[in-house]
Amino acid sequence: MKFLDLTNLDNSDIKYKVSKFPDGQQSITLDLENTYFTSDTQSVTIKSRLNSFLDLELIICANQALIELGVINLAFKLREISLYIPYCLGARSDRKFLKGQSNYLKTVICPIINSQNFSRVTILDPHSDVIEACINNFQKISNINFAKEAIRQIGLEKLTLISPDAGALKKIYDVAQAVECDNIIVANKLRDLKTGKIIRTEVPGISGEVSFSGEKSKKTFVIIDDIVDGGRTFVEIAKAIRDSRPKEIFNDNIYLVVTHGIFSAGFEELSKYFTGVYTTNSVKDIDNELVTQINVF
């Protein structure tokens, strides 16, 4: 197998050049002189971030260039092309939210991917089962290995795992089983019945006693989820943890372990409440002292 890595040309087995034209078109030219094909080269995996339609355009161009190369180059016996996109554009748009909108994943993104007839499409920790149902030859990678590595670095002592809502609970249980943690808590979002906006976040069952010496037992809370955008949900959970714990001395550690990090609001607010944030580089590479990234490319 060879890799065509659209995230990093240096790591790509198949070299290429990306061209951009004044009208907005992008294209890929495969570098045949500096790419070594053999008679046993039977499969290629395209590796890419899928954060925008520009990324999707390059994926399609790469796939079509490979298909045409396999037709004209008899030494290159290409039998299958697969796609590896750890994060999928529109992952949270798994239904029609308002009348007059489209079902973005089902009717926009997935049909385009399916049109390329990939032998396999691999996604890391997908937000919704809709992706699995709508993408042909879908392969899921769970968040367990990523979460295990993050928790290994954080440490297991006095560990409590927190699910941000009931919807993420199944994934939390799988991670808890993998790291042999018995302490799991589900946060509760209270919403305004008219507007649907979150008015309060509760994290039940985390209060603790202060010892006679005036010190309380230090605990480690780890919030686990698949996607962080601005991070407001997680900040509110961290606030609720602090409000629920003894006020005399607060020395707990609170970590965020999230598979796909968008961080559209930056890190200033997150740094006020979190000891550290763990994420992958599925969306982008991040240079911030708060963040530890685990590579998936």
pLDDT on residue 188: 83
pLDDT on residue 290: 98
pLDDT on residue 213: 45
Which pairs with CB-CB distance under 8 Å and at least 24 residues apart come from 31-37?
32/69, 37/2, 37/73, 37/75, 37/76
Tokens of 105: 């994943």
The answer to whether 14 and 1 have CB atoms below 8 angstroms apart is no
Look at residue 104 and give its three-state secondary structure: helix
- The CA distance from 189 to 261, in Å, is 22
pLDDT on residue 32: 80
Cβ neighbours for 47, distance < 8 A, ≥ 6 positions apart: 3, 4, 5, 6, 7, 84, 85, 297
What architecture does CATH give domain 144-294? 3-Layer(aba) Sandwich (3.40)
pLDDT on residue 224: 97
CATH of 2-141, one of 3.40.50.1820, 3.40.50.2020, 3.40.50.300, 3.40.50.460: 3.40.50.2020
Residue type, 64: Q
User: If you write DSSP's letter for every residue of 183-246 in order, what string do you get?
Assistant: -EEE-EEEE-TTT--EEEEE-TT---PBPTTS-B---EEEEEEEEESS-HHHHHHHHHHHHHS-
Indicate if 144-294 has the same CATH topology as 2-141: yes
297 residues of the chain, pLDDT tens digit each: 889 999 999 999 999 999 999 999 999 999 988 776 665 667 899 999 999 999 999 999 999 999 888 755 555 567 799 999 999 999 999 888 888 889 999 999 999 999 999 999 999 999 989 999 999 999 999 999 999 999 999 998 889 999 998 878 888 999 999 999 999 999 987 777 776 677 778 888 776 544 434 445 678 999 999 999 999 999 999 999 888 776 655 578 999 999 999 999 999 999 999 999 999 999 999 999 999 999 999
Tokens of 11: 């790591």
Domain range annotation of the chain = 2-141, 144-294
